[in-house]
Structure 1
Amino acid sequence: MQVIFKIRRQKQDKSSWVQSYTLDVESGNTILDCLNRIKWEQDGSLTFRKNCRNTICGSCGMKINGRSALACKENIGSEIEKFSLAANGNIPEIMIAPFGNLPVVKDLVVDMKPFWDDLERVEPYISTNARNIPEREFLQTPEERSQLNQMGNCIMCGACYSECNAKEVNAGFVGPHALAKAYRMIADTRDSDTENRLENYNSTDGVWGCTRCYFCNAVCPMEVAPMDQIGKIKQEILPRHEANDSRSIRHRKVMIELVKDGGWVDERKFGLFVVGNYFKDLKGLLSLAPLGLRMLTRGKFPTSFDASEGTEEVRSIIEAIQQNR
């Protein structure tokens, strides 16, 4: 069968363009197989990274039909079926582009330096003091070691980083890959720097910068679920802080309080409590005034609040979870 590959090509600091290549393929061929053939048979100038071909090294990361993936893992048949590319008898077209959130070096090759720099910011290695045990090894039980397995599966391919909405709007955000590794350090019983780590991650450049879009979970080829690991770090941070400590902490705590009270969020109180810090932050309150006035003039401001059905059940579930942490 024939497939048209539309590949976004680019030279460093130049505008990109799309170049099309037609190839006879089998449904079981991987995207990487096809890129190899294009390079070997049609255009030797096409540039991309590859290495193991077995979903181990993470080198061949790129955007395939709009989502970040490994070219060695995705095959022609699944792409055509997933996106109904052969509808109406047309020749299927597969779109290939470089990763997002990283500068393009050439074609499908991106500069991974920002990715590695962000990883270094979370200090993804066991603390020196924890390694300083001269008498014997630092042994872990099988149960303790099993807590590290999911995060340890990360192959640093960059797919989550490429898809991250938070990174796209906030260059300072450390990224889902780094925070998944960060939770591995927190969960590791050999590490002795947990409190400092949690303080370092307690910011909008850390865990509170995550927009919870789930894209990192959706594209991770190793099921590391970075967003889940970010949530676990948040749960470690919250009990250590009061609502007054920061707006990020307050956002989470106020939401839980309001849901416990009414089964869902009372929007009238939410902004006042979070931005206005329970009426203590005059600057925050004043910043809400323009929005409040616009809502009032357009009849969008709710004048009352009705608790949802099953509020008592919701409250009991939240309290049970809080007691069993």
Structure 2
Amino acid sequence: MQVVLKILRQKSNQSPYLQSYTLEVEPGNTILDCLNRIKWEQDGSLAFRKNCRNTICGSCSMKINGRSALACKENIGHELQQFPASSQNNPPEITIAPLGNLPVIKDLVVDMSPFWDKLQQVDPYVSTQGRAIPEREFLQSPEERSRLDQTGNCIMCGACYSECNALTVNPDFVGPHALAKAQRMVEDSRDTQKEARLEVYSQGTQGVWGCTRCYFCNVVCPMEVAPMDQITQIKQQILERKDGQDSRAIRHRKVLVELVKEGGWVDERKFGLFVVGNYFRDLQGLLSLVPLGLNMLVKGKFPLSFEASEGTQEVRSLIEAIQDQQTVKD
């Protein structure tokens, strides 16, 4: 069957443009197979990265029909099943573009330097002190090693980085790939810097509190590392060690849980006062809420009363059960 690959081509600091290539393909052909054929048979100037061809190295990560994926893993049949042709008379089209949140060098090749630089910010290696065990290996039990299995599957393909909405609006955010690796370090029994790491990962919106929880990193990860879940694990450990006075980000999380336990859902009147106003302790924070509050009042958007939701007791019981389970686990 025929298929049209529409590839977003670009040179550094130049405007991108779409170029179409028509191929005779089989449903089992991978996107990487098609790109190879284009380069070998139609256009030798097309640039893209590849290496293992077996979902191990992560080199061929790119945007395929709008989502970040590995070209060696996705095949024509799967793509056409998800995005069927709009017309019976025209061959189906598959759009391919470079990864997002990274500068383009040429065509589908992006500069990965920001990706690696941000990874270095979380110190992605077991601490030197932890490795300095004289005359013997630093052994781990099977249970200790099993805690590293999921995060250890990361192949650094950049798919999560490409889809991260937090990075798009906040260049200081270290990214889901780095924080997934950070969680691996936090869980590693050989590392001696856990407390210091958690302090670093909790700073401002550069670390875990910069995550917008859009879930895209989990959706596109080809190795099921689930970066957002790893970020949540780090947050939980930070919250267990901190109270609401440490930062607004921590207070935001704690107040949210408190209010849901109290009324089944969030009492918006209290939320801003407790989080931004720090339970009426932060005068500057309280004053910052005045313009918003007045605007809401004028437009009839300010809730004058709060009615607890149905099933509040059940909601409270669920939250407490999860909290008790987490305490037992720790």
TM-score strictly above 0.5? yes
Residue 87 of structure 1, CA deviation = 5.0
Aligned to 1:16: 16
Cα deviations across residues 164-208 of structure 1 (Å, max 9, x unaligned)? 000000000000000000000010111100000000000210000
Residue 86 of structure 1, CA deviation = 5.5
Aligned to 2:275: 274
Partner Cα distance (1:66, 1:98) in 2: 10
Residue 289 of structure 1, CA deviation = 1.5
Alignment check: 8 A CA contact 1:80 1:86 kept: no
Q: Does 1:157 align with 2:165?
A: no
Partner Cα distance (2:150, 2:89) in 1: 42
Cα deviations across residues 29-78 of structure 1 (Å, max 9, x unaligned)? 00000011111111110000000100000000100000000000000000
Correspondence 1:163-182 to 2 at 5 A: 163-182=163-182
Q: Which runs of 5+ in 2 are unaligned?
A: none
Correspondence 1:227-246 to 2 at 5 A: 227-246=228-247
Partner Cα distance (1:313, 1:88) in 2: 53
Partner Cα distance (1:287, 1:36) in 2: 57
Residue 88 of structure 1, CA deviation = 3.9
Aligned residues: 325
Alignment check: 8 A CA contact 1:292 1:301 kept: yes
Correspondence 1:210-229 to 2 at 5 A: 210-229=211-230
Q: Does 1:255 align with 2:256?
A: yes
Residue 10 of structure 1, CA deviation = 0.5
Equivalent position SS for 1:243: coil
CA pair 162-111 structure 1, distance change in 2 beyond 3 A: same
Aligned to 1:63: 63
Q: Which runs of 5+ in 1 are unaligned?
A: none
Correspondence 1:1-325 to 2 at 5 A: 1-85=1-85, 87-203=87-203, 204-325=205-326
Equivalent position amino acid for 2:206 in 1 = D
What TM-score comes out, normalization by structure 1 length? Answer: 0.98
Partner Cα distance (1:21, 1:244) in 2: 58
What TM-score comes out, normalization by structure 2 length? Answer: 0.97
Equivalent position amino acid for 2:152 in 1 = G
Q: CA RMSD in A?
A: 0.9
Identity of aligned residues (%): 75
Equivalent position amino acid for 1:74 in 2 = E
Equivalent position SS for 2:245: helix
Residue 310 of structure 1, CA deviation = 1.1
Partner Cα distance (1:125, 1:295) in 2: 49
Residue 286 of structure 1, CA deviation = 1.7
Alignment check: 8 A CA contact 1:200 1:206 kept: yes
Partner Cα distance (1:46, 1:275) in 2: 52
- Runs ≥4 residues deviating over 6 A: none
Partner Cα distance (1:128, 1:33) in 2: 43
Partner Cα distance (1:86, 1:137) in 2: 60
Cα deviations across residues 89-128 of structure 1 (Å, max 9, x unaligned)? 4311110000000000000000000000000000010011
Equivalent position SS for 2:272: helix
Equivalent position SS for 2:195: helix
Partner Cα distance (2:75, 2:53) in 1: 12
